[in-house]
Structure 1
Amino acid sequence: MGKGGRIACICTPYALTIASLVCIIMVGLGCTKSSSATLNNLYFFRANLQNLTTSSTVESTVSSALESAGVDVSSSDLATALNEAQKQLNIKDFYDIGLWGYCDGDVSNGNYKTSNCSKPKAEFYFDPITVWKLNDTGVEDVLPSDLSKALNVYKNVSKWMFIAYIVAFIATVVELVVGVFAICSRWGSCVTSLVSAVSFLFITAASVTSTALFAVLKGTFNEALKDYGIKGYMGKNIYIATWLAVAFSLAASLFWVISSCCCSGRSPYHGAGKTRGVTAEKAPYTYEPLGPHANQTPAAYGNTSYPPPPAHGTQVPMQNMRTNAYEPFRHV
């Protein structure tokens, strides 16, 4: 297989690597631009607070607390007070969590409209107490213990998840650069296979971590805050993107290994620096002369160059020998 076949063999893993890189980039771009509907649909977790003040459970809980304190208030007055509190705290209807930050917005007729996205930050994690400006309200002291533990785990694991995605991105870029040299030889494919293995390892670890982390957070979030009208949901598109990146990376790794074992770029005709040639057979009853007269074309019939009869006299028979020879095959 020549250089053309080698290039064709490298195109498949190279295209798969590019596809994996695109998916990783899509994961990173999620929740970074409020004006992009596509990027706003790429989130790991969504906290829905639109029913925070309209939940009857919340109203009854607060009403019971007020009655215990000797304060008599109607349900309508309570709903008005809770709505006013939400406006003063500027709490949005929903919050979407991405890799670099979060976006928030309001819900209108079932449509989620993003109004703001936070500034991208490395090793980002979503702190609801800080984002909802509840630091001075003492709410963090009365949060359910399960939710507090889940938030602490999320804070620590999210840093590792961010690092894993960054390493996967860098390794995939290096894989594309090194993959160019794989066209020249199988040694290039071997090195690219090692880099591809690193990329696959970290993108898989990041995908597993994000899926497991937010699945646990969703369960704890809904269980602890269901009485307050707050619900949590996992995203869909971002998980499709991250697991497609895993699939493309795995396929690319396998094809890089195959290209390092097969698809040699050297031509079979130049294995030892020899020129290409074929062995041809002469037509029947003809001969190819060797020696100083090798370039002369012998006749098929007529003079067959038989040796002359032996000479007599001063000539010695041993000296009357032919200076040329013939062979039935030739190499051209």
Structure 2
Amino acid sequence: MGKLGRFACIFTPMALVIAGFICLSLVLSGQMNEKNKIQRDLYFFKADTREFNDNPDANFESNLPDNVEIDNELLKALQEAAKSKDTNKQLKDFYTVGFWNYCEGDINDKGEETITFCSERKNYFWWNPVDVWELDDSATQKIFPDEMQKGLDAYRKVSRWMFASFIIAFFLTLAEFLIGFTAIFSRWGSFVTTIVSTAQSLFYFSAAVTATAMYGSLVAVFESVLKPYNIKATLGKNMLATLWLGVAFALASGFFWLISTCCCSGKSDRKKVVVEKTPYTYERVASPYMGASGNAHQMHDLPAHPVAGHGTSGSAYEPFRHGK
């Protein structure tokens, strides 16, 4: 029952590790396969340019509040991208950003989205609208206001830390799963696994915080700068929900690994009961005693009447031996 109880003790943290690993894998696989609906719906950030594409020559200034001004350089660049005859340079209806790459596509009259292109996967990927929208023919400072440029610069720098945190968390999760098997045999295995789980939880949590804050800031920048052009930006709710669910699994697994270091040692509770003989006691002699001849000889030397206090029972004589 010892090993069985130990296995039951670590079953919960192992199940939580697997659940957290699945969530992390889904986060890292977002936008990698446009044919897979689950991966297609997982993105950190989405830019919707459909309303601008519908009427790129519209007079936006007439519908703007008094304190908002249109940047003519940016408007001109966006209009050229929207009306470009080169399909590779055309402004698409939407752009979704994943961990390794981004995808773009069109939206029909029914609101159905169709992905037409996904970029190649890259390490330390960050989505640069200047390159994607083919706006780099002009100086970046002229295309985007200072607020937009500063937001993109911060996004580019922080994205490197986010990428590293996710990759470290991924491999630490694998290590936690493999080392966790040693916890079946002893609480020392649970102790080592707890250390790995703590490190994994820290990187997982920091990656989630970084991604949420970084893309939240990017959405705020897009909303403040590009909303007058009817370009909208949103966070991927499915991606963030999956990400933070994985963080919850990671933190919970670390807690249960810690509990397993104190409980369920795995040793059997059965103990051998040893009965010690009390010194100077009498025990019955096995029959026959000293063989047939020896028995007969002793019976011949015995007195006719048993001596009181030497182990008699009725009229029968029962020999005893003195044991120390």
TM-score (norm 2): 0.78
Q: Secondary structure at the match of 2:233?
A: strand
Residues 195-241 of structure 1 show CA distances to partners (whole Å, capped at 9, x for unaligned) of 00011111110111111111111111111011222110110111111
- RMSD, matched Cα: 2.9
The match for 1:38 is 38
The structural deviation recorded for 1:125 is 0.3
The match for 2:14 is 14
User: CA contact under 8 A between 1:47 and 1:230: conserved in structure 2?
Assistant: yes
Q: Secondary structure at the match of 2:59?
A: helix
Q: Secondary structure at the match of 1:323?
A: strand
The match for 2:240 is 239
Moved over 6 A (4+): none
Residues 174-208 of structure 1 show CA distances to partners (whole Å, capped at 9, x for unaligned) of 00110000000000000000000011111110111
Q: Does 1:277 align with 2:269?
A: no
User: CA contact under 8 A between 2:49 and 2:230: conserved in structure 1?
Assistant: yes
In structure 2, C-alpha distance between the alignment counterparts of 1:126 and 1:20, rounded to whole Å: 26
Q: Secondary structure at the match of 2:261?
A: helix
Aligned identity (percent) is 38
In structure 1, C-alpha distance between the alignment counterparts of 2:285 and 2:150, rounded to whole Å: 98
In structure 2, C-alpha distance between the alignment counterparts of 1:233 and 1:48, rounded to whole Å: 8
The structural deviation recorded for 1:325 is 6.2
In the TM superposition, what are the counterparts of 1:181-220 in structure 2 within 5 Å? 181-220=182-221
In the TM superposition, what are the counterparts of 1:33-182 in structure 2 within 5 Å? 33-54=33-54, 58-60=58-60, 84-85=83-84, 89-108=89-108, 109-138=110-139, 140-182=141-183
Q: Secondary structure at the match of 2:83?
A: helix
Question: In the superposition, relative to structure 1, how do residues 86 and 158 fare at CA in structure 2: closer, same or farther (>3 Å)?
Answer: farther
Question: In the superposition, relative to structure 1, how do residues 58 and 86 fare at CA in structure 2: closer, same or farther (>3 Å)?
Answer: farther
In structure 2, C-alpha distance between the alignment counterparts of 1:86 and 1:213, rounded to whole Å: 34
Residues 99-150 of structure 1 show CA distances to partners (whole Å, capped at 9, x for unaligned) of 1110111011211211221111111000111111221144552311111111
Q: Secondary structure at the match of 1:25?
A: helix
Residues 222-272 of structure 1 show CA distances to partners (whole Å, capped at 9, x for unaligned) of 1101122211011011111110111101110111001011111001225xx
User: CA contact under 8 A between 2:216 and 2:235: conserved in structure 1?
Assistant: yes
Contiguous gaps of at least 5 residues in structure 1: 63-67, 69-79, 271-275, 280-287, 297-306, 311-320, 327-332
User: CA contact under 8 A between 2:81 and 2:133: conserved in structure 1?
Assistant: no
Question: In the superposition, relative to structure 1, how do residues 294 and 34 fare at CA in structure 2: closer, same or farther (>3 Å)?
Answer: farther
Q: Secondary structure at the match of 2:104?
A: strand
Q: Does 1:293 align with 2:286?
A: yes
Q: Which amino acid aligns with 2:23?
A: C
Contiguous gaps of at least 5 residues in structure 2: 63-71, 73-78, 276-280, 290-304, 309-318
- Number of equivalent positions: 277
